[in-house]
Structure 1
Amino acid sequence: MGRQMTEMLKGTLEGIILAILAVRPAYGYEITARLRDEGFTEIAEGTIYALLLRIEQRGLVDARKVPSEKGPPRKVFSLNPAGREALAEFWSTWGFLVGRIDHLRAASDAAATDTAAGADPGTEPTTEGA
């Protein structure tokens, strides 16, 4: 995973984990496996556990110990009302950002097309025939 992807994920990983927990409660390894299934193959388990601890401390999830057939009890996290509120805010913010970024991308693509077609990038497009 490139540096740019890593930096972008840092700002969104909390929301991604909240979205996973909105579907159903899960423990750390399950969340990591789900992320890998979704294509986030380079995220370290330690990153997920640290983030789970942080969102638990912030009161966004509830945690309970569940017996495990293989070893010690597992800590299962579930989204609580504060977490659902935080997730709704995340999706609202995400929607806004996607809209703004798509707008900037379209303008950038149009400028690149104009430049490739021979237009001077420092001039305003003409409105002849409009």
Structure 2
Amino acid sequence: MKAEAQALKGHLDVLLLAALEQGPRHGYAVKEALREGSGGRFDLPTGTVYPALHRLEAAGLITGSWSVADGRRRRSYALTPAGRRRLSSDRDGWRAFAGAVTALLEGPSSWPATT
């Protein structure tokens, strides 16, 4: 597993939800959206993406439907209203977390003085 894939642990669900925010995508297109959106850093194996999509579908955060394209069946996924709410909530939580980490990484000069 790539280091980037390991770093995604715990964040994959929200990234998959974000990849579906602009509209339905089939599973491989979701995987490609993560890769392209990250400049190639998040090139996840299908064995990681598809089980996560199935988990999100079982949780009611996305819905899946079958279609046929070029003679092949494929499953497309779309956000549900619950998925949109979860994405919004997770984004807010991420911003707060990232802000706290950034403050710490900028060094002690940004920390409150101790007495």
- Give the TM bin, normalised by the shorter chain: 0.7 to 0.9
Give the unaligned 5+ runs of structure 2. Answer: none
How far residue 85 of structure 1 moved from its aligned partner, in angstroms, is 0.8
How far residue 95 of structure 1 moved from its aligned partner, in angstroms, is 0.5
Higher helix share: 1
Higher strand share: 2
CA RMSD of aligned residues (A): 2.0
Q: Which runs of 4+ in 1 moved over 3 A?
A: none
**Equivalent position of 1:101 in the other structure:** 101
Give the unaligned 5+ runs of structure 1. Answer: 112-123, 126-130
Partner Cα distance (1:67, 1:8) in 2:
35
How has the CA–CA distance of structure 1 residues 91 and 45 changed in structure 2, closer, same or farther, with 3 Å as cutoff?
same
Decide whether the 8 Å contact of 2:31 with 2:43 is kept in 1: no
Report the residue type matching 1:36 in the other structure. Answer: R
**Equivalent position of 1:84 in the other structure:** 84
Any residues of structure 2 matched to 1:1-130 within 5 Å, and which? 1-2=2-3, 5-38=4-37, 39-71=40-72, 73-108=73-108, 110=109
Which fold has the larger relative contact order, with Cα–Cα distance below 8 Å and residues 6 or more apart in sequence? 2
Decide whether the 8 Å contact of 2:63 with 2:80 is kept in 1: yes
Decide whether the 8 Å contact of 2:5 with 2:42 is kept in 1: no
TM-score by length of 2: 0.84
Decide whether the 8 Å contact of 2:62 with 2:80 is kept in 1: yes
Percent identity (aligned): 28
Partner Cα distance (2:103, 2:62) in 1:
35
Number of equivalent positions: 109
